[in-house]
Structures are given as C-alpha cells and as structure tokens.
Amino acid sequence: MNLAPKLSEEEYRKNFAELIPPYNNITAVAEAARCLYCYDSPCKHGCPAHIDISTFIKKITTGNLLGSAKTILNSNWIALTCAKACPVEVLCEGACVLNEKGEKPIEIGRLQRFAIENYFESGMPKLFKQKPKNGKSVGIIGSGPAGLACGAELALLGYEIQIYEMNELPGGLSTWGIAPYKTSMEDSLKEVEMIKGLGVNIQTGITVGETISIEELLDKHDALFIGIGLGESGKLNIPGEHLNGVIGALEFIEKIKKGNRGFVDVGDRVAVIGAGNTSIDAATIAKRLEAEEVMIIYRRSEAEMPANDFEYRLAKNDGIIFRFLTSPIEILGDKSVEGIKCIKNKLGEADEQGRRKPVPISNSEFIIPVDMVIYALGQQPKLSFLNSISDLRIESNKILVDSDTYQTNNPKVFAGGDCINGGKEVVNAAYDGKQAAQGIDKFLSG
C-alpha cells in the first residue's frame, strides 16, 4: 500500500468541500417563505426529536433568528450536527406535504443549519432560564449526542452534571465518526461548548472501569446516565485480516477527522466491506484521498443494503463500484494487503429480521487485486463494560430500559442512544438523552 500523496490545503478543501452549501439571509428567507405552515405539521412528526419545524421556519421569515434557534434547541441540543448529517429526505423533508403536490420539499435541514449557525455566530447568548442548583448530581458516561443532550437538559433543571469521556475530545461520533464533507469536528465542538456554557462539566481521557470504577460513580452521584454508544465494527473473522492495510471504518474516518490530510494511509485499490452509511462514508473518503479505485463489497443484494438512498446515490456519483452478493473469505498478502478472495452468493430464506440470508455458491471463488481493506460490519456493543454494572438487563446486545423514563433495572442507572437501540441516527440519540433527563428528574425529585 502506498502512502497517499499529500493533499495541499487547496486540494483538501476542494475534495472535502461540503456537499450542501449554507443559505445566506436572502436565500433562507425565500426558502422559508415556501413553507405552508401546516396545522398538523407532518414534518414535526417525521423528526425523531419532534422539533416544532413550522414555527422555527416562520420565525426565519420574520427575522427572529434567535427565536428560531431557541425553538430548535428546545427539542434538540445537537441541532447543527443533525442539520448537516441527518437523512432528512426520509425524515422531516420526506414527510413534507409538498412531496404529495409533486413539488420540491422545504429544505428543512438547511434552514435549521442557517438558524443554528446564526446562533453560534451571535456568541451563543443565553436562551433558556436555568433553575437554581438543587444540590444533586448526575454522572454521565459518554459525551456523544445522548450524553450531551441529557447533560444540557439536567443542567437547566438545576443538577450538577459531570460527563466522563474516554477520548481526548468530546462529542462522540459527531466529532470522530461522520465524514468531514458532511460535518466537521469544529461543528461538533461548537455544540460541546454551548452545552458546557450551561454549566456541564466534561472530563476527557477518563475510561470508566479503568480510570474510575462504576462503583465509585454510583457512590459519588445521585444517578448515572449511560450514553456510551457502540464500539468499533465487528471483525471479519477471515484469514489475513491481520495484514497491514486492513482497518476498521471508524478508525479510518477518525484519522481524516483529526486533520491528517494526505498522510492518511490509503491504497490505490480499496475494498470496503459492508454497505451501511458508515461504509459509504469510508469509501467516499478514500476516493477523496485520491484512491484510484474504491469498491464496496456486500454479501446481499442492492435491495437489502442498509445504506439509505442518499448515501447510495452519493457513492455512485463518486464512482464507487458496488459488488453485491459477494462475501470476502480471505485477505491475501505477505505482510501487506495484495488482494481479497471472495465468493459469490445467492439469497436464501429470510432471517429473523426478514432479510434473506446470503448463501455461498459452490466453486464461485474469485480474487480481486486490492492494497487496502476497510471493514464496516456494524458497530458492536461494549458488552464487557455493560456486564460490569450490576442489575443491568441486556437483551439482543442492547440495554433494556423503561420506554418512558429510560431507567434500567438498576434504579440509579439510566441509558439512551445507540446502546439501547442498536445504532440509529444522531437525532435519535439526542432525543433519548433529553427524555432520559426527564426520567432522571422524576426519579430524583420523588
């Protein structure tokens, strides 16, 4: 595998330019004026955070941008990341009534971005009144969207909040795990600073279970919230995955998010295993780092791929090759990747999720010459840590919580985000954190 040629700042900006440019004041008001302000707001119901979308859009048309931002933040503390990274075409914009009229839906994501970026540019003035300190504290494990949202909501309610984060920078996948042409590390850290401004304390470099024990946290705090998300992708479990040039998708994305630019190792011919949204992020990043050929290898057919339509179109527009009904069975090479041996599949009976299982076709093996393999087989839960917490019930690799309060079987412990839903969108985690905060408040206030 060759080290990718260094990208100059100009080349980097060009290759990793934002997919969708921001609105200015004129274009934002013009787009907001298209909204019909429906009485039943189907867009609000299409948003997992239930933002009052028609109201925040109406405020843009009247020039009340801080009021617009307040309406958004009242429902979603991770609003900038969501505005840029949410699959809006299947959520809020997909529910817009203009679709039924055969017209282009309101660009809700771009309008939300416009309002929130104006809020940040205005110096993040205080929009919400905080209750006096009540003398109680809550510890939060993980500073991703769920943890940040929970912390912000509880800080407004008067609790002392301490977030424990194992990484050097807070923000979770919003900081480290989303392709930089969608949202930048700086975007995520702005949201972190906003939430710290509410009085939320964040300690980084703290690994619960090593730096500090879960028992110490339970003794120190009146309640705990677990928002640790998921870990790295599952392993391929095939010969050769120890070779140089094999890397997990999240680790690969993190390297470019850290600003390594052209010093990120990328091959000339790259195979990405898996067909979810993270796989496509990794594939398109490799392409933007000047890999000559990038292919996505997926064991099922196009109809079963987890990636949404927007991601699929993006990958095809970038020239990514898709090899469906194909499974890797061995990575070839001496010390570094030289090729990948695959087998063709056909679809068999449906599994428990209703997706047809891939069945290998005998004597259909073939070799693809590649010099890099990126795997993204779905993030795995951090079961060893979760199992260390007493009275925590785990089923199907997810923490079981009360659907209303987000309380676990251990009454002092609450949870939300990917660790309870198996991996959804950023906006789902933000909603979980906010709702769990209300559950914690009810528990601690009797």
Give pLDDT tens digits for 302-348: 999 999 999 999 999 999 999 999 999 999 999 999 999 999 999 99
Question: Do the Cβ atoms of 269 and 372 come closer than 8 Å?
Answer: yes
Q: Are 336 and 247 in contact (CB under 8 A)?
A: no
Query: Is residue 126's pLDDT more than 70?
Result: yes
Tokens read off for 147: 């943890």
CA angle 260, 227, 119 (to 5 degrees): 65
Angle among Cα 370, 375, 377 to the nearest 5 degrees reads 145
pLDDT(258) > 50: yes
The fold of the 246-375 domain, in CATH, is FAD/NAD(P)-binding domain (3.50.50)
How many residues make up the chain in this entry? 446
Q: How far apart are CA 420 and CA 430, in angstroms?
A: 13
Domain 14-121 architecture: Orthogonal Bundle (1.10)
Span 287-291, mean pLDDT? Answer: 90
Identify the CA nearest to 9 among candidates 287, 253, 261. Answer: 261
Distance of CA 98 to the CA centre of its chain: 28
Of 400 and 289, the one with more pLDDT: 400
CATH fold group of domain 137-231+380-444: FAD/NAD(P)-binding domain (3.50.50)
E strand segments, 173-238:
201-203, 223-226
What residues does CATH 3.50.50.60 cover in the chain?
137-231+380-444, 246-375
**For residue 177, which of 267, 81, 112, 65 has the smallest C-alpha distance?**
81
Pairing type for strands 398-399 and 394-395 reads antiparallel
pLDDT the model gives residue 436: 98
> So what's the pLDDT on residue 338?
97
pLDDT of 234:
80
Q: What is the pTM of this model?
A: 0.94
Taking the C-alpha atoms of residue 200 and residue 152, their distance in angstroms, rounded to an integer, is: 7
pLDDT at 214 over 50: yes
| Averaged pLDDT, 418-436 | 95
Q: For residue 42, give the nearest of 93, 103, 116, 109 by alpha carbon.
A: 93
Hey, CA dihedral for 183, 189, 195, 197, is it positive or negative? negative
Strand partners, 362: none
Residues of the chain with CATH 1.10.1060.10: 14-121
Helical (H) or strand (E) element with 440: helix 426-444
Q: What is the distance between the alpha carbons of residues 203 and 303, in angstroms, rounded to a whole number?
A: 43
